Structure 1
Amino acid sequence: MGTEKVSKLLFRLSAPSIIGMLVYAFYNVVDTIFIGRALGEESVSGIGGLVIAFPIHMLAMGIAIGLGIGGSSIVSRALGSKELHKAEKALGTVFFLGIFLGFAYSFTGLFFLESLLKIFGATPGIMPYARAYLEIIMAGSAVFTLGIATEDLVRAEGNARYAMFGMIFGAGLNIILDPIFIFWLDMGVRGAAIATVLSQLAATVFLLRYFLSGKSSVVFKPELLVPDMTISKELAVIGIGPFIIEASNSTMMIFVNNALATYGGDVSIAAFGIIHRLLMLIFLPLLGISFGLQPIVGYNYGAKQFSRVAESVKVALMVSTLFSLPGFLLMFFFPEPIIQIFSSDPELTAAGAGAMKIVVLILPFIGFQLVGTTVFQALGKPVPAFVLSLARQILFLLPLVLILPRFYGLDGVWAAFPISDFLACGLAAGMMWREYRKYKNKEKQKN
């Protein structure tokens, strides 16, 4: 960590996460393509249904991410201090809460499903498809909460490769099952949801095997499948931040979807769904780069090698920009053929192509915000990290989505995205530069 060439080290630590994230993003894109192609003339409503369902499902994912980050923090620290029994108790507590909270979300969500869909912007045309998809996904919430939390626990043991294989296995199986349920069994969006739940179930079993095989440092013991109150409180304290971020992003979609429904209708909602899926192919691998950057920054900061911290951040920013650039060029210069991969609807092609050219304007620099958030997390500065993590969606995008459409209509909704990206990236760059100057002065004083 302290001597290996930074670029080589970043690649080695990031590669498993980047590959896993890319596969996950690719399966989401393929899922949407299958839905769009299967429904033909109804592709706008079908894709729109996925758009409305996604942020509601993300609330369950937020629970899982909070549990996973909290649990992995406790487990890794317990292993470091040779407290194996505490690590095993944390494992059992996370498993119990993953199942319990997943079922609680299922029952609550299904009971209020109609109201939730309306709140998140479902129009009469989109409602049947969103409901058909989300009924299945909601019923399988426990599979998602347990699986995602378990993936983080596997990574906490230092086995990022096994966690990556779990992601690839689940996403790959989903891509195989999608055409079977959507086309061959003619189940449409409901078939896509069934394929997703079954794939996640298989991935969860694959990940659980790690702790049942006896090969892990922390072994699952059935008698510890009882929540420990002390560990539960610690989980809540650590996991509440990531959950709030996911919940905030999900809640933000209420305003985006409703603005799109008001100023553009079902076609605009479907166009946003396609653009969002494509952007995931960029965002999620950048997140993988950030995962690789965090331990490098943390280690070298602890070792007071501030110049090496700065070098690792520069490399991460350069790699993020270079990774984003091809996606930007394709989406900006060839939007029509890209949209037509998802649907042959001419109205959707026209609306999506115009929107895409606006939304992706700042895409090459989006890595600044992700890297900035990671840097402050690694430096042990939760407040600036929290501010940056909410900057794009809440601090900037929310007010812009509420204000701009009043003056510019649908164009105002689309323009809110690059403007918020620009402001968030600028804020991240400014905060990192200020931090860099501070530690550069410390390095001078040390020498």
Structure 2
Amino acid sequence: MNEQTENKMGVMPEGRLLITMSFPIMLSMLIQALYNIVDSAFVARISESALTAVSLAFPVQLLMIAVATGTGVGVNALLSRKLGQKKQEEADSVAANGVFLAVVCWLIFAALGLLFGRWFISCFTADAEILQMGTNYVTVCTVASCGVFLLFVAERLMQATGNTVYHMITQLIGAVLNCILDPLLIFGIGPFPRLGTTGAALATVAAQIIAMMIGFFINVRFNKDVHLRLRGFRPDAKILGGVLRIGLPAAVMQSLMSALTIGMNRILMPFSMTAVGFYGVYYKLQNFLYMPIFGMNNALIPMIGYNYGAKRPDRIHNIVRYALLLGAGIMAFGTVLFEAIPAPLLRLFDASPDMLAIGVPAIRVIAVSFCFSAVSLVLCGALQGLGRGMDSLIIALLRQLVIVLPAAALLARALGLHAVWYAFPVAELAGFVGALWMYRRVTRKIFPSAQSLQSVHTGDL
């Protein structure tokens, strides 16, 4: 069987496969991170209060993305495995059930946003202006969240079948639209009304909805590996259970980013609103580095799922090894960048002298942890591809909740704001050690006769 008769995920050389599948997604995720930065940069030009309002609302966006990611990971891993097993009818059913699950998630978040959006923002501030701007932003983003949930599913249908270039196209369209609509709706340019932070939210959801529609058009018209038919559809409890079993741990893992942001906001609030604003800015800056790793993982999951279904542990081992090398290289570059020019990066957001005084040393401390986190994230993606979502979740809990928040709170109370940031390198080092141990344990159990992570030593990285 050759590359013409079998999906490339089963036959293409592993290094070339990783690059060809990952690069389009990595590029699209970089674009997404860039327009998130552009979005905050425009909002910062309204006022520091506007930037703070958006920073307080950001955990809600992260939570929606977490649930959408979990749904996508479940669909991605299960669909690629069915394709590897040559079960076309079951693969098509996974796709349809994935769309159904995305619609359910949208309706739940729309209701929650309408009912509890203002209450959520009020948990962090009593400032009337910030409260109103934050409430407006949360309400728009949740009520119109159909774009984010369905776009994730549309993109994962492309990824699971190896069609990552189409994923890049939808992300590029969404990013360009957001960058165009942001200044028009925020500042009221031409015939558009001046809507401030509400305009930023409208620009984001409009871009997501348009990209989502294009994504489904591409799947129906050009994705020949999956046949998306919704006529006569009935939810399949077995498939939905399979998607949730794989995707729920991934959703919880991703939602830890939201929990971490909420927790850090609570820790930083007693020091100053500027500290809260800085953390929101830093999060979007670091996304510019982490998004390529997330993009690579999006390609890694179906590659591993396909070869797991095809019973090819040798290919799985090689794919993971190449992914570790690539991820560590990206984060090494990021460490150098963040250590060298933290002040210019913060000035992209009109950082005040107070924010620079807080942010420059903070960024330099946190940047030490980047390479450790790269290894943890790649191995988490590999575990998800193997269907071991709960093991991946344990690593994420170690990195983003169990250690970092208690350590940050303790350091804040004992030594002050400048010491809070040391919690991040400590947590990432623990996650690094835990991820290596967990992946080795899982691969030895699943493939007892195959070489697992024996060659992943410091010299390989």
Q: Is the TM value for this pair above 0.5?
A: yes
1:335–1:357 contact (8 Å) kept in structure 2: yes
Cα distance in 2 between the residues matched to 1:193 and 1:253: 19
Instruction: Verify: 1:326 aligned to 2:333, yes or no.
Output: yes
Cα distance in 2 between the residues matched to 1:441 and 1:213: 43
Question: Which position in structure 1 is the counterpart of 2:3?
Answer: none
Instruction: Verify: 1:418 aligned to 2:422, yes or no.
Output: no
For normalisation by structure 1, the TM-score amounts to: 0.86
Question: Which position in structure 1 is the counterpart of 2:202?
Answer: 194
Measured on the aligned residues, the alpha-carbon RMSD in Å equals 3.0
* Partner AA of 1:13 in structure 2: M
Give runs of aligned pairs for residues 23-422 of structure 1, distance below 5 A.
23-37=31-45, 39=46, 42=47, 44-80=48-84, 83-119=87-123, 121-122=124-125, 124=127, 126-183=130-187, 184=189, 185-213=193-221, 216-262=224-270, 264-294=271-301, 299=307, 302-305=311-314, 312-379=319-386, 381-422=388-429
Q: Which runs of 5+ in 2 are unaligned?
A: 1-8, 453-461
2:313–2:450 contact (8 Å) kept in structure 1: no
2:74–2:247 contact (8 Å) kept in structure 1: yes
* Partner AA of 2:394 in structure 1: V
Cα distance in 2 between the residues matched to 1:437 and 1:100: 38
Cα distance in 1 between the residues matched to 2:450 and 2:231: 51
Q: Which runs of 5+ in 1 are unaligned?
A: none
Cα distance in 2 between the residues matched to 1:244 and 1:304: 28
User: How far 1:46 sits from its partner (Å)?
Assistant: 1.7
Helix, strand or coil: the match of 1:112? helix
2:80–2:302 contact (8 Å) kept in structure 1: no
User: How far 1:6 sits from its partner (Å)?
Assistant: 4.6
* Partner AA of 1:276 in structure 2: Y
For normalisation by structure 2, the TM-score amounts to: 0.84
CA deviations over 1:375-414 (Å, ceiling 9, x no partner): 3344554453332232210222122133222212222322
CA deviations over 1:212-258 (Å, ceiling 9, x no partner): 43754434444235433443333333322122223333223221111
User: How far 1:436 sits from its partner (Å)?
Assistant: 8.8
Cα distance in 1 between the residues matched to 2:250 and 2:24: 22
Between 191-200 and 216-225, the greater mean CA deviation after superposition: 216-225
Helix, strand or coil: the match of 1:145? helix
2:246–2:384 contact (8 Å) kept in structure 1: no
* Partner AA of 2:221 in structure 1: S
User: How far 1:437 sits from its partner (Å)?
Assistant: 9.5
Q: How many residues align?
A: 436
Change (3 A) 1:194 1:225: farther
* Partner AA of 1:392 in structure 2: R
Cα distance in 2 between the residues matched to 1:143 and 1:216: 23
2:57–2:138 contact (8 Å) kept in structure 1: yes
Cα distance in 2 between the residues matched to 1:78 and 1:312: 20
Change (3 A) 1:122 1:355: farther
Change (3 A) 1:81 1:252: same
CA deviations over 1:9-45 (Å, ceiling 9, x no partner): 33222112211111111111111111112x1xx2x22
1:171–1:199 contact (8 Å) kept in structure 2: yes
Change (3 A) 1:223 1:33: same
Higher helix share: 1
Cα distance in 2 between the residues matched to 1:434 and 1:80: 24
User: How far 1:281 sits from its partner (Å)?
Assistant: 0.8
User: How far 1:96 sits from its partner (Å)?
Assistant: 3.1
User: How far 1:336 sits from its partner (Å)?
Assistant: 1.6
Cα distance in 1 between the residues matched to 2:145 and 2:414: 40
User: How far 1:268 sits from its partner (Å)?
Assistant: 0.5
Helix, strand or coil: the match of 1:361? helix
2:358–2:418 contact (8 Å) kept in structure 1: no
Cα distance in 2 between the residues matched to 1:332 and 1:214: 44
Change (3 A) 1:88 1:313: closer
1:106–1:138 contact (8 Å) kept in structure 2: yes
Helix, strand or coil: the match of 1:362? helix
